[in-house]
Amino acid sequence: MIAKAVEQLMEQRKEKFMIPAELVANVLENNNLEHAFLVLTKVRYAKIPVLDSKQHFKGLLSLSMITETMLGLNGIDPSNLTKHTVADVMEKDVHTIQKPFKLEDILHILVDENFVVVVDEQEIFTGIITRRELLKSVNHMAHEIGNNYEIKPLIEKADSIRSN
Ligand code: AMP
């Protein structure tokens, strides 16, 4: 379990964790791979969310998922890109979270992933929480905790009980 002091300080910045959907680069599941390739190259993010035309979250797409399709018998063949859609190659089994999210859940997911996807009850894409944004809040908490709480080592307490 996360210490109360940490949770309370992180809670103050909870709204800042999430990058809202309108600021997150995405592709549509029925876009062809040529289009997706251009988007990923332009935005320079390793992986981006895939949505449907009604903003539902569908999966994640990275450049390596696309380049796999380009591998032909005689090397790279980009002509395959227009024959496939994002839905054909995207990662589908993706862990998502909903608001109100628990800090503990986010921390667990971000150990293995660069970001976590936030959706609403209807699976509408709401935004992402990245390691970077979360680390900014951890940094803030690490600086503020001494101003808000008196932190003493438990060992001191044990020693004083023993000496009484
Ligand atoms: P960061 O922690 O900022 O390095 O972001 C981690 C990952 O989150 C990036 O590699 C991208 O896959 C994704 N990401 C961050 N910001 C955006 C954004 N504005 N649009 C799309 N994906 C993003």
Q: Is there an atom of ligand 1 within 6 Å of 48 CB?
A: yes
How many degrees, rounded to 5, is the angle at CA 111 between CA 153 and CA 99? 95
Write down the pLDDT at residue 159: 64
Whether 114 is in the pocket of ligand 1, judged by its Cβ within 6 Å, is: yes
Read off the pLDDT of residues 60-91 as tens digits, 9 standing for 90 and up: 999 999 998 888 778 888 888 999 999 999 99
Parent domain of 159: 4-163
DSSP state of 85: B
Q: How far is the CA of 115 from the centre of ligand 1 (A)?
A: 7
pTM of the shown model: 0.86
- pLDDT at residue 144 greater than cutoff 70: yes
Q: Is 26 exposed, middle or buried (0-12, 13-18, 19+ CB in 10 A)?
A: buried
Q: Which atom of ligand 1 is nearest to the CA of 23?
A: 19
Question: Is 131 near ligand 1, meaning CB less than 6 Å away?
Answer: yes
49 near 26, Cβ under 8 Å?
A: yes
CATH number of the domain that 113 lies in? 3.10.580.10
Tell whether ligand 1 has an atom less than 6 A from the beta carbon of residue 132: yes
| pLDDT tens, position by position, 86-130 | 999 999 999 999 988 888 889 999 999 999 999 999 999 999 999
Closest-CA residue, ligand 1 atom 1, reads: 132
pLDDT tens digits, 33-58: 999 999 999 999 999 999 999 999 99
Ligand 1 in reach of 135 Cβ (< 6 A): no
Q: For ligand 1, what atom is nearest to the CA of residue 24?
A: 20
What is the number of domains present in the chain?
A: 1
Contact between 133 and 154 under an 8 Å Cβ cutoff? The reply is no
Distance CA 78, CA 94 (A): 27
What phi, psi does 74 have (nearest 5°)? -110, 40
